[in-house]
Amino acid sequence: MNEQEKKSYLQRYKEAKEKGVPFFPDIIFKDAVVSLIVFLILVALAYFVGAPVEERANPNDTNYTPRPEWYFLFLFQLLKYFPGNLEVIGAMILPGLFVILLLVLPFIDKSPKRHFRNRPFASIAALAVVGGIGVLTVLSVMEAPPPQEAVVVDHAAALYIKNCANCHGENIDVPPSTDLHQVIAAGTHEGMPAWGGDLSTDEIDQLVGFILSPNGSAIYVQQCETCHDQMVQAVGNPLELQRVFREGENYPGHEGVDVPDWNETLTTVERNALLNFLAAPDGQRLFTINCAGCHGQGVAFAGTEEELRTLISQGGHDLAMPAWKGTLSESDLDTLASYVTDPQSEPAGDVLFGQHCAACHGEKVPSAPDKESAIQIISRGGAHMTMPLWGNILTQEQLDALAQYTFEVSRGEGTGLGATLFVEYCTACHGQFGEGGPNPSLAGDIIPPISTSEYLTTREDTTLRNIIAQGQPNFGMSPFGDEHGGPLDSTQLDALVAFIRSWESNPPVDEPPIFQTETPPPTPEVTAPTSEPVPSLTGGQLYTIACASCHGAQGEGGIGPAFNTQEFQDQYDDRALFDIISEDHTATPMVVWGEHLSDEQIQLLVEQVRILGGAIPTEPSTVSFSGQVVPLFQAKCQVCHNSQTALGGWDSTSYEAVTTTGNSANVVIPGDMLNSVLAQRVAGTQGAIMPPSGKMPDAEIQIILDWIAAGAPEN
């Protein structure tokens, strides 16, 4: 372009501009229209197609076929024509040259021609490039492997591996009547965290299904997941599942869907595995889904478990219950029906029930939804024509689980709730198996076992219930019933009683024999000198364990006299003190410490009494919280006791949390070793020893005890 041409172009452009329109509003209107159309297209795409998210990136998955975004596909395709050492041509040189060409284009093409027909070479070349890119893109799409089949991932298995396998290994053996869902959601008290917060209900259901039927999970992935990508979308109701299998493509939900004949494609074993996965053989949940609608919380049954199993599998058709209409008068029928519907409303029904029904039904009254159906069932006998033949519906495993659970419930042994409550509220004092032990709230007192048949046969449920509800203030047991200010409601009390009662016929196997003896040794905490578990204690610690509950933590007195008075200190010399501590005091509740403590320990106590009296200055605490205690917490406690997973409600991650958290009481009570749960647990004097992996070395326990004894300072 020479000067002449430049000038002529500028002139022409000036004229075109003068004949033109103002940018606002004419041009801007057109721009706005196009922008709006573009935006609407985007909105439609976002709404109808959405932005996809694939599986989380997995660097180990070498099977994944990588594909770049579509606008890089042509480059991707181009590379295929430059294999090996030539790759650099397709990857670098050609694209690089092309970009450079674009950049210098105005300087290469200096001709004044502007209309595309007047510069055929440039136009054709550009068309060729555009066409080439288009062809390469199309080729790339066509050569691409068929869109990846939905990556077959067993979600349930993945959940298990991620969350459970670390502790439980490859699989878990679960007793048939376990409410596994509850166990996973709430955790157990053996160090298993509660997953309810981290996993959704559906995920827990998947896990339950997987744990109880891992094969079923795999079959589900193969057969169902194409359509039911979330397990939620498939039913968990055994009746419905059987229908799906039976009806195949005629099943309403599968209408128009190309489903195989399940009975042909799957073997019986596979079908059962799948059914077990979808409706896990978990007695409690099966009962809730299938039976609770008619039977409420439980059924009454007096026969054996085998009979119950037969009954469940045969359904209501073959029940041998006679037709009571005719045998009983109308009014008796009416009374019975009322009684069955609501036992409280018809006390007279009790007698009738005992006469006619208890022989088969046992003492537990069957429940009926309303009086009308109760009358029908009683009159007609044979009962429950509507009860399905569960034997044809449930898998063997499901039937076993359901029968066992129902049987246990009918025997009042549906003790899941009671067991949980017992662990939560009772084991601290009564031990895991009700074996009793030293009374933490009353030094020197030993709680007798409550799980022996002797104890249980001599106490009725009502008595047990009252003891739990009202507590035993004389023995330091606080009331647990909510009517008395405790945490448990009526149902929970009943469950707890039922659990304790279950020991009568089924005494706990792991009961430690030591507390079974008639004369258990008093205060095992202070058996230190003879056995070895308690580390050698300082005078302060001994005092806290042995004396503080009666004489006060600082010797201020209580049941026993105060030590911190000049009068007391003057009254006895060391020798007298030593004798008082070690000898019998028949007139007072004071323990004969000479039987439990060594002379050295009693001497330490004497010194401690003098310290409290002000005679000897307290030695300053030498334990450093940040330097010694925190590292111990980090190493031994924080896995389970942190701000996220605070088992027992205790968070050991900060000073504030250490001293203020804990489910039943603050775990650390400064200066009070007797009542600090932390001290009890690490020293093994009370409750399960911590950490669960085994006792810490004595030196480490000493650090924690010293720290608490020194008032748990934040130093």
Partner 1 sequence: MAANLMNWLDERLGWRSVWEAIFLRKVPHVNWFYTLGSATLFLAVTQGITGILLTLYYVPDPAHAYDSVVYITTQLPMGWFIRGLHHWGASAMVILTVAHLLRVFFLGAYKYPREITWITGVFLLLIVIGFGFTGYLLPWDQKAYWATTVGTRIIGVAPGIGEWLLRVARGGSELSAVTLARFFGTHVWILPASLLTLLGVHLYLVIRIGISAVPEKDE
Interface positions, 65-104, toward partner 1 (CB under 8 A):
65-72, 75-76, 79, 87-88, 91-92, 99, 102-103
**Shortest distance in whole angstroms from residue 200 CB to partner 1:** 12
For residue 68, is the peptide bond before it cis, meaning its omega torsion is within 30 degrees of 0? no
Tell me the number of residues near partner 1 by CB under 8 A.
80
Identified binder of partner 1 from the candidate list 80, 81, 97, 105, rule CB under 8 A: 105
Q: How far apart are CA 83 and CA 57, in angstroms?
A: 28
Question: In Å, what is the CA distance from 412 to each residue of 350, 451, 509, 565, 691?
Answer: 19, 17, 20, 58, 35
Q: How far apart are CA 453 and CA 443, in angstroms?
A: 27
Q: Does 173 bind partner 1 (CB under 8 A)?
A: no
Identified binder of partner 1 from the candidate list 118, 463, 618, 693, rule CB under 8 A: 118
**Shortest distance in whole angstroms from residue 236 CB to partner 1:** 23
Give 437's DSSP letter: E
Q: Are 510 and 474 in contact (CB under 8 A)?
A: no
Q: Does 13 bind partner 1 (CB under 8 A)?
A: yes
**Shortest distance in whole angstroms from residue 81 CB to partner 1:** 14
Name the nearest CA neighbour of 529 among 591, 598, 471, 482.
598
Q: Does 576 bind partner 1 (CB under 8 A)?
A: no
**Shortest distance in whole angstroms from residue 87 CB to partner 1:** 5
**Shortest distance in whole angstroms from residue 62 CB to partner 1:** 10
Q: Does 121 bind partner 1 (CB under 8 A)?
A: no
Contacting range for partner 1; rule: CB under 8 A; set: 53-61, 167-175, 210-218, 626-634: 53-61
* 71 vs 169 by CB, closer to partner 1: 71
Give 520's DSSP letter: P
Instruction: Give the pair of three-digit tokens for residue 559.
Output: 């049941």
- Interface positions, 505-524, toward partner 1 (CB under 8 A): none
Q: Does 41 bind partner 1 (CB under 8 A)?
A: yes
Instruction: Give the pair of three-digit tokens for residue 499.
Output: 């659990």
* 117 vs 575 by CB, closer to partner 1: 117
Q: Does 46 bind partner 1 (CB under 8 A)?
A: yes
* 31 vs 460 by CB, closer to partner 1: 31
Give 344's DSSP letter: G
Q: Does 38 bind partner 1 (CB under 8 A)?
A: yes
Long-range CB pairs of 534-540, under 8 A, 24+ apart, other chains included: 534/683, 534/684, 534/685, 535/683, 535/698, 535/701, 535/702, 535/705, 536/698, 537/601, 537/604, 537/705, 538/604, 538/706, 538/709, 539/604, 539/605, 539/607, 539/608, 539/611, 540/608, 540/611, 540/709
**Shortest distance in whole angstroms from residue 130 CB to partner 1:** 7
Contacting range for partner 1; rule: CB under 8 A; set: 52-60, 166-174, 362-370, 426-434: 52-60
Q: Are 150 and 225 in contact (CB under 8 A)?
A: yes
- Interface positions, 646-675, toward partner 1 (CB under 8 A): none
Question: In Å, what is the CA distance from 407 to each residue of 277, 298, 479, 615?
Answer: 23, 9, 32, 68
Q: How far apart are CA 178 and CA 208, in angstroms?
A: 11
* 115 vs 575 by CB, closer to partner 1: 115
* 61 vs 149 by CB, closer to partner 1: 61
Q: Does 30 bind partner 1 (CB under 8 A)?
A: yes
Identified binder of partner 1 from the candidate list 11, 40, 43, 97, rule CB under 8 A: 43
Q: How far apart are CA 637 and CA 693, in angstroms?
A: 11
620: Cβ contacts below 8 Å, ≥ 6 apart:
none
Name the nearest CA neighbour of 246 among 257, 262, 235, 234.
262
* 38 vs 576 by CB, closer to partner 1: 38
Q: How far apart are CA 410 and CA 311, in angstroms?
A: 14
Q: Does 232 bind partner 1 (CB under 8 A)?
A: no
Identified binder of partner 1 from the candidate list 11, 80, 97, 116, rule CB under 8 A: 116
Q: With b meaning 16 or more CB within 10 Å and e meaning fewer, what string describes 118-139?
A: ebeeeeeeeeeeeeebeebbee
**Shortest distance in whole angstroms from residue 690 CB to partner 1:** 31
* 89 vs 157 by CB, closer to partner 1: 89
Q: Does 615 bind partner 1 (CB under 8 A)?
A: no
**Shortest distance in whole angstroms from residue 46 CB to partner 1:** 3
Q: Does 114 bind partner 1 (CB under 8 A)?
A: yes
**Shortest distance in whole angstroms from residue 22 CB to partner 1:** 5
**Shortest distance in whole angstroms from residue 143 CB to partner 1:** 15
Q: How far apart are CA 312 and CA 407, in angstroms?
A: 11
**Shortest distance in whole angstroms from residue 232 CB to partner 1:** 14
> Helices 599-612 & 539-546, crossing angle to 10 degrees?
90
Strand-strand pairing, 437-438 and 446-447: antiparallel
- Interface positions, 320-349, toward partner 1 (CB under 8 A): none
- Please spell the DSSP secondary structure of 84-150, one letter per residue: GGGHHIIIIIHHHHHHHHHHHHHHH---S--SGGG-HHHHHHHHHHHHHHHHHHHHHHHHSPSS---
- Interface positions, 283-312, toward partner 1 (CB under 8 A): none
* 69 vs 190 by CB, closer to partner 1: 69
**Shortest distance in whole angstroms from residue 549 CB to partner 1:** 50
Q: Is 576 exposed, middle or buried (0-12, 13-18, 19+ CB in 10 A)?
A: exposed
Q: Check residue 129 and give left, alpha or beta (phi > 0: left; psi -120 to 50: alpha).
A: alpha
* 69 vs 518 by CB, closer to partner 1: 69
**Shortest distance in whole angstroms from residue 314 CB to partner 1:** 47
Long-range CB pairs of 658-663, under 8 A, 24+ apart, other chains included: 658/633, 658/712, 659/712
* 91 vs 630 by CB, closer to partner 1: 91
**Shortest distance in whole angstroms from residue 199 CB to partner 1:** 14
Contact letters for partner 1, residues 124-163 (x by CB under 8 A): --x---x--------------------x------------
The helix (H) or strand (E) run that includes residue 285 is helix 283-286
Contacting range for partner 1; rule: CB under 8 A; set: 15-23, 281-289, 399-407, 671-679: 15-23
Q: How many CB atoms lie within 10 A of CB 42?
A: 10
464: Cβ contacts below 8 Å, ≥ 6 apart:
497, 500, 501
- Interface positions, 424-463, toward partner 1 (CB under 8 A): none
* 70 vs 81 by CB, closer to partner 1: 70
Q: Does 257 bind partner 1 (CB under 8 A)?
A: no
**Shortest distance in whole angstroms from residue 28 CB to partner 1:** 7
| Residue ranges of E strands in 416-549 | 437-438, 446-447
**Shortest distance in whole angstroms from residue 32 CB to partner 1:** 8
Contacting range for partner 1; rule: CB under 8 A; set: 61-69, 224-232, 505-513, 535-543: 61-69
Q: Does 50 bind partner 1 (CB under 8 A)?
A: yes
Identified binder of partner 1 from the candidate list 4, 83, 115, 175, rule CB under 8 A: 115
Instruction: Give the pair of three-digit tokens for residue 203.
Output: 């995920």
